[in-house]
A and B are shown apart, each in its own frame.
Chain A
């Protein structure tokens, strides 16, 4: 941090100005508008608005669709968090060992995260094709009954959760791996001298060291997965019927298929409030976990 003469201050604000203007114009103002317009009805063609007070909100709260989407959203969130964190930690631990081809393995594991969502969704849809898909072929080959992976419930939700977790778990792997690598080897040596088994070394040395980071990762992933639209939409379109319709998909449907902007915005605002809770929890856990700076 350098001196702050008036000239410097002016220069600083000048450098910051484009960012502030764009953030304000493209996020701040739309956000305010989103909240304001959620109290209005908008005509789909003329875009004329009529103030309706809380009607949009009472509408959504009385709408079973909303509550289904709300519930779906949490099922999706819980399921994919559980899978990706569990899987991510296990894979990180495995990749932290020294073994043949570790460097290549660490690169390969990144692929799902770097694949465009569309590509990921399409490949999986092809693999899960109920007649010609490789998954069903292997499934039947194991002597099991053919399964309709995407067009019945609860299969569709489970499938979407698995694919979603597959796509993002590399993030967890990289973050946990970074933390694992920073654990001083002396801690393990000390534990060994104290006679700890491999198992208790894991629980007494490794887990406490990654616990802080893990809590930050869980919340961060929760914030991001809560708002996931692309993958679910591309896999199932929210179907079968509304089986995998989460809140973001419902917002889209209300706004761009049913042209009920006001109602869609009311849902978006409710969603935003849920996210604020998550964000607050995230900020708190980052403050409690200074080591989380290391996951970069």
Chain B
């Protein structure tokens, strides 16, 4: 049995831990609270944590007075198309890198790591010039090209680690059982890689959904803006910021995503720090 002082110390540590956790999540709660408050309550002294008279007015205003739905649709299209495209390419590429003895595979791995870590700002300008040169500025396809350059190195790097964790004997067994290389890949490697593919998909979707810089630089047309630039451009510019509406928009942009993450938490945690895996 532990002594009384030890137990008190433990209790104190637990209390402190929970205090920290709540402090860390406070901004999220504050966002939700604000989003449901009426303008008068927003500036109440003392501030209220829970809205006294919860209202959906802020959400209605965002949806009616801004092009939020257009931005959200654009974000969804760009993020989904990029993610699916990158997943297909990276799944094939990672499999090739892991289970084929290709000449120069070590060089490829090194180059990949470099791509993964180099600053986006370095290639921002050439990619911008390239996309503009192709006449894709101001278009969602242009953004998809840019986001592919952003997510592919990451996806390949992460996926390569996942594929390397699959025992090679399983593929060998399928080959002996009569499958071709491609068939074995589809039949037995792919099902094993599925958790890794989901994780990679979640993170590349997140990258595209959040991306701000490329969208800022390349999109100059309200019909093709994505959520981050759209919200910034319409709600946050000017002196009198409608914080209720801003928080409502922020809620709509983040909460569905957070719920999905909560649901896929296992995969999300797997993806953390994937870059730290040995090259």
* Residues in chain A within 8 A of chain B (CB atoms): 1-4, 8-9, 11-13, 15-16, 18-20, 22-23, 26-31, 33-34, 37, 47, 91, 94-95, 97, 99-101, 105, 107-112, 114-120, 122-124, 126-127, 129, 132, 134, 137, 166, 171, 174-175, 178, 216-217, 220, 223, 226-227, 229-230, 233-234, 247-248, 251-252, 255-256, 261, 264-265, 268-269, 271-272, 275, 279, 282-283, 286-287, 290, 292-293, 295-296
Contacts and interface: CB of A to CB of B under 8 A. Distances in A.
Given A37-B126, A118-B231, A134-B47, A2 B121 contact: no
The main secondary structure of chain B at its interface with chain A is: helix
A3 B34 CA distance: 61
Interface in B77-128: 89-90, 92-93, 95-97, 99-103, 108, 111-115, 117-127
7 contacts: A1-B99, A91-B20, A94-B17, A112-B24, A114-B257, A248-B119, A295-B272
B122 A271 contact: yes
B257 A99 contact: no
A129 to B, nearest CB: 7
Contacts of B42: 132
Interface in B22-66: 24-25, 27-28, 30-31, 34, 42-43, 45-47
A174 B276 CA distance: 12
A167 to B, nearest CB: 10
A247 to B, nearest CB: 8
Interface of B: 10, 13-14, 16-18, 20-21, 24-25, 27-28, 30-31, 34, 42-43, 45-47, 89-90, 92-93, 95-97, 99-103, 108, 111-115, 117-127, 129-130, 145, 148-149, 152-153, 156, 161, 168, 171-172, 175, 181-182, 206, 209-213, 217, 227-228, 231-232, 236, 243, 246-247, 250, 253-254, 257-258, 261-262, 265, 268-270, 272-279
Given A12-B102, A99-B13, A275-B118, A27 B149 contact: yes
Contacts of B129: 33, 47, 261
A142 to B, nearest CB: 13
A257 to B, nearest CB: 11
A235 to B, nearest CB: 11
Contacts of B10: 97, 99
A175 B274 CA distance: 10
Given A27-B149, A271-B119, A283-B279, A114 B261 contact: yes
A30 B126 contact: yes
B76 to A, nearest CB: 13
B125 A26 contact: no
Contacts of A23: 111-112, 115, 152-153, 156
Nearest to A12: B100
A229 B125 contact: no
Contacts of A264: 125
